[in-house]
């Protein structure tokens, strides 16, 4: 009897497709008949490894070595791809089952859609007119009136201050006007007094003779020079 090879050495030696091809035929790694050959060797070697370490058999063909552009093998030259056979009775039964299934599914979908719409609508309504919406509304109204009160107070304060200022200005204006009037009156009075003073020295028809006599009696010499300040130049004073 040949010694079995350890599984690691086998996988390193044999290519992947070879293993896959073999795995299709021999699924169970159980006791094999004592017939010589590499197949038996492989099977025996497979028996050796524990179940957890045995490679799982791949029961479907997979594109391992070839890409989609490689030509098919010569062994597949006369291959005729045949679709799986269909049992018409079973097909009928299955079609009927599908029809009923789809009906039920459609009904369920409608039901769930309605539920979702109902939930949305209720949410919307609650948001617009629910207990929370009401209290939020009241809160906002209270805040609004508080703001209005505050602004009203400010406005009134401002108006009051402006009124006061206006009154002050009016008072000031009146005072100014009074002062101006007073000054004017004083000025006029002064002028009147001045005139009265001057009028004392006027020449009237009663004073005429006396004044003429006076002027003729006192001849005055105005023949002197005067500088810009109004001082008399002494050397030019006549004797």
Partner 1 sequence: MVHLAHLLMKNYHGGHVAIRLALGGCANRPFFRIVVAYNKRARDSKYLEQVGCYDPLPNGHNEKLVGLNIERLKHWIGCGAHITKPVEKLLGLSGFFPLHPMTITNAERLRKRRALKAITASEEETPGD
Locus of tokens 């109004």: 230
Sign, CA dihedral 47-51-53-59, equals positive
Interface with partner 1 includes 112 (CB under 8 A)? Answer: yes
Mask 48-87, x = binds partner 1 (CB under 8 A)? --------x-------------------------------
User: Which range binds partner 1 by CB under 8 A, 62-70, 92-100, 145-153, 207-215?
Assistant: 92-100
Q: How far apart are CA 69 and CA 63, in angstroms?
A: 12
Interface with partner 1 includes 105 (CB under 8 A)? Answer: yes
| Closer Cβ to partner 1, 38 or 104, answer by number | 104
Q: Can you tell me which of 8, 17, 114, 144 binds partner 1, judged by CB under 8 A? A: 114
Interface with partner 1 includes 135 (CB under 8 A)? Answer: no
Size of the site for partner 1 (CB under 8 A): 18
| Closer Cβ to partner 1, 117 or 215, answer by number | 117
| Closer Cβ to partner 1, 114 or 144, answer by number | 114
Q: How far apart are CA 16 and CA 21, in angstroms?
A: 9
- Using DSSP's 3-state secondary structure scheme, residue 26 falls into coil
Secondary element (H or E) of residue 160 = helix 131-200
Q: How far apart are CA 231 and CA 2, in angstroms?
A: 161
Nearest approach, Cβ of 104 to partner 1 (angstroms)? 5
User: Which range binds partner 1 by CB under 8 A, 75-83, 104-112, 139-147, 221-229?
Assistant: 104-112
Q: Can you tell me which of 94, 125, 159, 175 binds partner 1, judged by CB under 8 A? A: 94
Interface with partner 1 includes 113 (CB under 8 A)? Answer: yes
User: Which range binds partner 1 by CB under 8 A, 14-22, 64-72, 103-111, 229-237?
Assistant: 103-111
Write the DSSP string, 164-210: HHHHHHHHHHHHHHHHHHHHHHHHHHHHHHHHHHHHHT---TTTHHH
43 CB neighbour count, 10 Å cutoff = 21
Cβ contact 6:47 at 8 Å: no
Looking at residue 64, the DSSP 8-state letter turns out to be: S
Interface with partner 1 includes 209 (CB under 8 A)? Answer: no
Cβ contact 21:62 at 8 Å: no
Nearest approach, Cβ of 89 to partner 1 (angstroms)? 12
Provide the binding-site residues for partner 1, judged by CB under 8 A: 56, 90, 93-94, 97-98, 100-101, 104-105, 108-109, 112-117
């Amino acid at each position: 009897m040949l010694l079995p090879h350890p599984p690691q050495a086998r996988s390193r030696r044999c290519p992947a497709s070879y293993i896959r091809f073999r795995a299709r035929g021999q699924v169970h790694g159980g006791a094999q008949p004592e017939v010589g050959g590499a197949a038996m060797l492989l099977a025996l070697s497979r028996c050796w490894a524990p179940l957890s370490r045995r490679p799982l058999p791949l029961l479907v063909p997979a594109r391992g070595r070839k890409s989609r552009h490689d030509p098919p093998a010569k062994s597949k030259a006369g291959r005729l791809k045949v679709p799986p056979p269909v049992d018409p009775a079973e097909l009928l039964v299955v079609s009927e089952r599908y029809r009923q299934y789809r009906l039920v599914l459609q009904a369920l979908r409608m039901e769930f859609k309605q539920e979702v719409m109902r939930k949305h609508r209720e949410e919307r309504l609650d948001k617009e007119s629910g207990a929370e919406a009401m209290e939020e509304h009241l809160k906002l109204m209270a805040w609004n009136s508080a703001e209005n009160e505050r602004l009203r107070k400010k406005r009134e304060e401002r108006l009051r201050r402006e009124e006061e200022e206006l009154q002050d200005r009016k008072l000031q204006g009146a005072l100014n006007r009074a002062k101006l009037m007073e000054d004017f009156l004083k000025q006029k009075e002064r002028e009147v007094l001045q005139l009265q003073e001057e009028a004392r020295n006027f020449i009237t028809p009663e004073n005429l003779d006396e004044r003429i006599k006076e002027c003729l009696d006192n001849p005055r010499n105005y023949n002197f020079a005067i500088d810009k300040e109004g001082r008399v130049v002494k050397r030019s004073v006549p004797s």
